[in-house]
A and B are shown apart, each in its own frame.
Chain A
Amino acid sequence: MILLKLAWRNLVGAGLRTWLNVLVLAMAFILMIWGKSVVDGMAYQLYDAMTNIEFGKGGQLWHSEFDPLDPLTIEDAHAVYPQELAQHIATDDVATILVRQGTIYPEGRMQTIMIKGINPGQKVMDLPTDKIVAGSTGLTPALIGQKMADKTGLAQGDLLTVRWRDAGGTFDARDVEIVHVMNTVVQTVDKNQIWIPILDLQEMSDMAGQATMIALNEPFEGTPSSPAWVYRDLDFLLRDTKELITAKNAGGNIMYGILFAIALLAIFDTQVLSIFRRKKEMGTLMAMGLTRAKVIGLFTLEGSMNGLLAFGTGFILGSPLFYYMAVHGYTIPGGMDDFGMALGNTIYAKYGAGLMLGTTSLLFATVVLVSWLPTRKISKLTPTDALRGK
C-alpha cells in the first residue's frame, strides 16, 4: 500500500511530464478502440445483411454446376428440387431460386442481366418478394433493386422487354412490368438482375419444377439425396467476406502497432530518464530498508499507473466519440455498396466485451512490460553507490 501511495505521489509530482505521457497513451487507446469498433461494426453489418438478405440463415443448396463467379456455369445449373425439401417448398419455408441469363433493352440499350425466379411467398430472404404479383396489365411482374433502377432508368410501373433462351437454346421474349423497386444494401441481389415469380421463369425456360439454388432457414442436415445438389453452409458462403475482414483487421493492426509504439516509447523514455536521474532517491529508499525488488516494483508501478490513468482519460475523452459512432455511425460519401460491399452508406461501430477487455488488457500488459524493462538495472545497484549518485 505504501508503494502505491509513493508511486502515486511521484507520478503526480512529475506534473506535465506525466500528463503528456497519459495524453499520448490515451489518444492511442481511443484510436485503437475506435478503429477496431468500426471494423467490428462493419463485419457485423456485412454478415447480418448477407445472411438475412442474400443467403438465408441456414445456408443454401446449390446445383453442383453452379458457380456464381463463373457465368458460363449458369446455363446448365438447374435441376429438379431435391425430394427431401418437398414439404418445405410447399409451405414456402425455403426460397427456391432459378437463375437464367437474359437481355433487356431499357431505352433501347442492350444490357445482359440475370433473370432470377423466386417463390414470392418465401420466408427466408429479407426481400420484398411478396410484391411480385401480377398487376392490372397481366404481364409477368418483376422486382428490381434501386441500383438497377438508377442504372437503367426504370421505375415502378414501367414495362420492359426481356429476351432469354429456353432450355433448348431458343430465343424467346416477353414484356414484364416493374411492380416494385426495392432498397437494399446487398448489391448481389440488386445489380444487373430482375426478380420474377419462379413459376413464370420455369414456364419461360421449359424448366418446370427446377431451380439453381435453394435458400434455407435451418442448416441442412446430412447430404442431399440427389448428386445434382450440394449444401453450402454459411461458413462457405461468407468465406470471402471473412477473409476481407481479416485483411482489414491485419491492415489496421499495423497502424495501431505504430501508433501504440510511439506512445510506449514515451513511457519507456520517461522510465529510463527516471532511473538515471533518481539514483540518490533509490539509494535512500534502499538505506531505509526497501529491498531491490520493492524499488523495482515502485518504479514499475509508477510506469504502469501511466497506463491506468490513460485508460481513464481515454474513456472520458473518447466516450462522446464512441457513443456517436454507435448511434449515428460513420457515413461514407458515395457509400460502400458502390464497391460491392453490403454496407449501405453508414457504418455503425460495435463495442463488444471482447474488444474492450481484450484491447485494454493487451495495452495494459504492454505498458507494464515497458515500465518494467528499464528497471532491471536497479537489481545491479549498490545502495552506497546509489546514495552518491553513481
Chain B
Amino acid sequence: MRYILPFLILGAMPAMLMAQPDAAEILRKIDKQMVTESAEATATMVITNRRGRETRITSRSWSKGETTSLVEYLSPAREKGVKMLRLDDVLWMYTPQADRVIQISGHMLRQSVSGSDLSYEDMVNNGKLLDVYDAAVVGEEVFMDRLCYVLRLRAKENVDDIAYAQRKIWVDKSRYLPLKEERYAKNGTTLLKIFEIREVMKIGDRWYPKEMYFKDVLANGQGTRYLVDDIKFNVDIPEYLFTKAALRE
C-alpha cells in the first residue's frame, strides 16, 4: 500500500492542477459579466452620512464601450438635470442651474460625487480588469454565503492612469461576480475603498449586481449604496447623446 500511495498522489496531480483556477481566466469571466458593450440603466444612489441620514439620488445612464458614458440625475429636485458625460479620460459635467458645462479631469475625477463614497470615476467606469491588472489566486473563502476565489490584483507595470495600484477581490466561484473588493493605495497597506455586491440579478445569461455598496474607508459616514433599478444591455444608443452639445438638451 505504501508503494501505491505516491503513485496515487502523482496520478491525482493533473486533476488537482486542473482544479486550480487561472487568475487571468477569472478576471476574463468577471469582465464578461461586468463590462458591457452598451447599456442603458436607471439606478438609485443612497448616501448615508455619519448621523445616519439618507439622501437618495436617482439617475439614468447610458454607456458605450469602456470609455464613453452619460449619466443624468432625475431626482431630487436640486440635482435634477445634472449630467455627466465621459469621453475617454475627460469628464464633462453640466449643471442646469448654471447652464454651464465644466470639465472635470485629473484629481477632480477622484473626488466625491454629491457627498457620496463614489468618485466621478467610479460613476462612469466600465473598464476591463484584465487590461490593467495582473492577478493571482490567494485562496478561497465564503463571503455572503457564497464560495469565492480570493484574488490579489496588482497594476500592470506598463499601464498608466490607474486609480488603485492593488486590489483584493472575492469572486463568486459560480457566478464570477466580484462580491467584495478592497482597493488599496500604491503602498499596498492603506485601504482606501471597499466595494461590495450585496444583491445580484440575472438578465439573460448574465449575472449582474442589483445592489452595490461603496465605502471610502478614510472618510466618516456609513457608505453609499448603489441600487440598479433597471438595466438593458446591448441597446442602440444614438451617437449624438455622447456629445457636449447634447448635455444642454
B residues 207-226 touching A (CB-CB < 8 Å):
216, 218-221
Q: Are A171 and B164 in contact (CB under 8 A)?
A: yes
Does B108 belong to the interface (CB within 8 Å)?
yes
Cβ-defined partner of B165 (8 Å) among A72, A76, A171, A174: A171
For A162-205 the 0/1 string (1 means CB < 8 A from B) is 01111011111110000000000000000000000000000000
Determine if B74 is an interface residue (Cβ-Cβ < 8 Å).
Answer: no
User: A206: nearest residue on chain B (CB-CB)?
Assistant: B186
A172 adjacent to B165 (CB under 8 Å):
yes
A158 CA to B165 CA, complexed, in Å: 28
A72 to B185, CA, bound (A): 23
A163 touches B164 (CB 8 A): no
Interface positions of A (Cβ within 8 A of B): 71-72, 74-76, 100-103, 105, 107-110, 112, 161, 163-166, 168-174
Chain A residues, CB < 8 A from B187: 172-174
A174→B190 contact, CB < 8 A: yes
> Do B219 and A75 touch across chains, with their CB atoms under 8 A apart?
no
Give the shortest distance, in Å, between B31 (CB) and chain A (any CB). Answer: 20
B165 to chain A, nearest CB (A): 5
In chain B between 78 and 113, which residues have their CB closer than 8 angstroms to a CB of chain A?
103, 105-108, 110-112
Identify B163's interface contact among A74, A102, A109, A171, CB under 8 A.
Answer: A171
CA distance A101 to B108 in the complex (A): 9
* Beyond known contacts A172-B187, A174-B187: 18 more, CB 8 A cutoff: A72-B103, A72-B106, A72-B108, A75-B106, A103-B110, A105-B218, A108-B220, A108-B221, A110-B218, A163-B185, A163-B218, A166-B186, A168-B160, A170-B165, A170-B186, A171-B163, A172-B165, A173-B218
For B104, give the chain A residue with the smallest CB separation.
Answer: A72
Nearest CB to that of A105 among chain B residues? B218
> A169 and B108: CB pair below 8 A?
no
The 24 listed contacts between A and B (C-beta, < 8 Å) are: A74-B107, A76-B106, A103-B111, A103-B218, A105-B218, A105-B219, A108-B50, A108-B218, A108-B219, A108-B221, A110-B216, A163-B185, A165-B107, A165-B163, A166-B186, A168-B161, A170-B155, A170-B163, A170-B164, A170-B165, A172-B186, A172-B187, A173-B218, A174-B190
Q: Which residues of B contact A105 (CB under 8 A)?
A: 218-219
| B residues 2-42 in Cβ contact with A at 8 Å | none
Residues of chain A lying within 8 A (CB to CB) of residue B105: 72, 75
Q: How far is the CA of A112 from the CA of B106 in the complex (A)?
A: 13
Among A100, A163, A166, contact of B192 (Cβ-Cβ < 8 Å): A163
Nearest CB of B to A170, in Å = 5
What 3 A-B pairs are tightest by C-beta distance, nearest first?
Answer: A108-B220, A75-B106, A169-B161
